[in-house]
Chains A and B, each alone.
Chain A
């Protein structure tokens, strides 16, 4: 039979890839099992925003560390994902939005995000492309974006250099624990490993089921759109107080419009249909913020799946009752924070004390199961 690895990671998104990378660099033999290609689901199709102003308050300290990681990706990852570090603005156009912004920015500030509230004039100095009607803006100098669709290639190269065995186009189908070792059934040959990390994005619910653990995971179907290339019309990352807009122009001239408007989709079919009214709504917000976008044409829209736990906080830690099994995922704004959280988990797996606490899933087990 095949070799026994120190660690098998199931799911090759940002979480799975990062755990695999740092575990391998820490000296473990690692196999990564991915149903499709690396970072082709949420981690390759997301908006690439690296922002504090959409991050959950509890994750701000992690997101700050993660932002620093992204900004220095060239050193630890070694390959380009097109990271641009720039200012970010979260806008309020109405009184209600201004109140929401003041409250939310205040909370995030308390958690360590350097967000200042500024007036329209100051905001326009930061972003000359802004349209009229801004009442208040949250300004954060720690913001930016990456080219999410380059994530897969960058990680692929880094993982190969770190000696990770990558099994792409190979889906895991079940896991057994045989004599203190995990046997992972796949659509290819079975894989054996001493430790297991479940990092299957929105599919971790059924993967945890293989281990007899029930944690409901909600599926968000986030819509995104991109314009064709256009002259430079903005230079910051733009959002709105409610969080339902994210906007930035890439160096090659296209602008990605997102913010979490929901499309139709599910775990089986992916994000399969975009709803015209919601696309128009999202694009209206974008054009209201940066009017020059109206000159461009919409080139493409798509949708990706994001996982959310009951309390919308991450599932990163050991799997209760199953020694040597771990889960890593369901991180809100997980593209931003994922690398840091996944590196913390890798530390734990390597037997070191992580620099910040993990997010164990015991809190999410249904009460009946917890009692048992």
Chain B
């Protein structure tokens, strides 16, 4: 293994939060390395589009701007690298095309974003069913449609963005199946109006969808996806129980996002349950420092707040690191950033509130519905374990294998914790979360071991005979 390289700061994740953090720290004179699994900076929201010179789309411009600024900066870019281990001190180990790399720094900013929350329903494992965030990636960075006849479903503004994106590419949206009532949207308007530019963008998407005469089914939800090897039909129901089937070849569905908190959990940072902002997140200071000194969490991984606040949180954390390393930072700049962050909360909390209320949806999951996709564990198996008196979330995992598969519990974790809380009449705080363990993502053993001589393996002393 190569000798660890030392930096002032390691930033994990090159989205809006991590990118801003790295740029800010480098501008303050710190040595910074920015590591991301994607081959280009931008994260999920500012994914590098298929052809970078896409005519003015605000999102793309941000991504372009970030990529250009990083290229021009002193930030060491380590892209296309999968981080698999983060340990005390901080040491970060990653694997990439050029093999393994480890680097160390006293300060670590984690900006690893969030992943999709989809509440299980029969058929959600069928090919052709995918997440809303997945669809934005397909549309933006691959310039591809999820299917020829797409149903867009779930909750929140991402539905409007995806439906509008599909239409803009000449695709067909069969319907938008919206869990919210129209009045829910209208009620959120005053809060959303605090960010006029974002509201106008969202309103534009929705307007384009409605103008295309695409049916927008408010207060409806998907109850089943059917098909043989690919979804061919979905069943939706209104709140009053009217069911109907919609024929389609893709279903794009999302119930919000779950913060990616593997790194703070690995490092035993104190966590708390914040339902509004997506679930378990680290306890943070005003500078986004966790209970582990030198460890910062920013962006959606510190609670779902969107790209605007992600950038601000990244800049604030980087300035705090610079200060801790003896660099001077302008108090006026800090004050301005903190104000901007607080101001933006009005909007992001209103969006977050639209994505909440899933407890009832989780309670409704049918006994035969698969909850853990990797290991095909159904709700009834989890309920059966609880009926035997098992309440410990890690023990539930042991007896059902739920969460033991390669996604490492990311897709089912939140749902299972909610089910256990419901089943044992305890709060999510009492139920807790699965223990965080390496590797952060599955890594091929072949890549992990690299080429080596048997004699060089540092085998410890044998146990006593």
Query: Which residues of A line the B interface, CB within 8 A?
Result: 36-37, 40, 44, 54, 56-57, 93-94, 100, 104, 107, 133, 149-150, 152-153, 156-157, 168-169, 227-228, 241-244, 260-262, 264, 269, 272-277, 279-281, 283-288, 293-302, 312, 332
Contacts and interface: CB of A to CB of B under 8 A. Distances in A.
Contacts of B461: 242
B398 A44 contact: yes
Contact of B438 (A94, A150, A301): A301
A171 to B, nearest CB: 14
A297 B406 contact: yes
Interface in B340-391: 385, 388-391
A242 B444 contact: no
A272 B449 CA distance: 23
30 contacts: A36-B392, A93-B454, A94-B455, A100-B462, A104-B465, A149-B398, A149-B399, A153-B390, A153-B399, A227-B445, A228-B405, A228-B442, A242-B462, A243-B463, A262-B460, A274-B438, A276-B85, A277-B458, A279-B438, A280-B1, A281-B458, A286-B445, A288-B454, A295-B444, A296-B445, A297-B406, A297-B444, A298-B442, A299-B406, A312-B464
Nearest to A302: B437
A37 B390 contact: yes
A93 to B, nearest CB: 6
Interface stretch (B87-95, B179-187, B315-323): B87-95
A285 B453 CA distance: 10
Interface string B193-224: 00000000000000000000000000000000
Contacts of B465: 56-57, 104, 107
Contacts of B398: 40, 44, 149-150, 152-153
Interface of B: 1, 84-85, 87-88, 91, 93, 100, 102, 266, 268, 385, 388-392, 394-395, 398-399, 404-406, 408, 435, 437-439, 442-446, 448-449, 452, 454-455, 457-465
B405 A299 contact: yes
A293 B445 contact: yes
B437 A273 contact: no
A297 B445 contact: yes
Contacts of A150: 398-399
Contacts of A40: 392, 394-395, 398
Contact of A294 (B385, B408, B442, B445): B445
Contacts of B91: 276
Q: Is the interface of A mostly helix, strand, loop or mixed?
A: mixed
A261 B459 CA distance: 8
A336 to B, nearest CB: 14
B335 to A, nearest CB: 38
B457 A281 contact: yes
Given A243-B463, A287-B445, A297-B406, 4 more contacts: A37-B391, A157-B388, A274-B87, A297-B445
B388 A156 contact: yes
Nearest to B100: A280
Given A242-B462, A281-B458, A284-B457, A228 B392 contact: no
Contacts of B385: 153
A156 B391 CA distance: 13
Contacts of A243: 462-463
Top 3 nearest A-B pairs (CB, nearest first) are A294-B446, A297-B442, A149-B398
A133 B389 CA distance: 50
Contact of B439 (A153, A262, A298, A312): A298
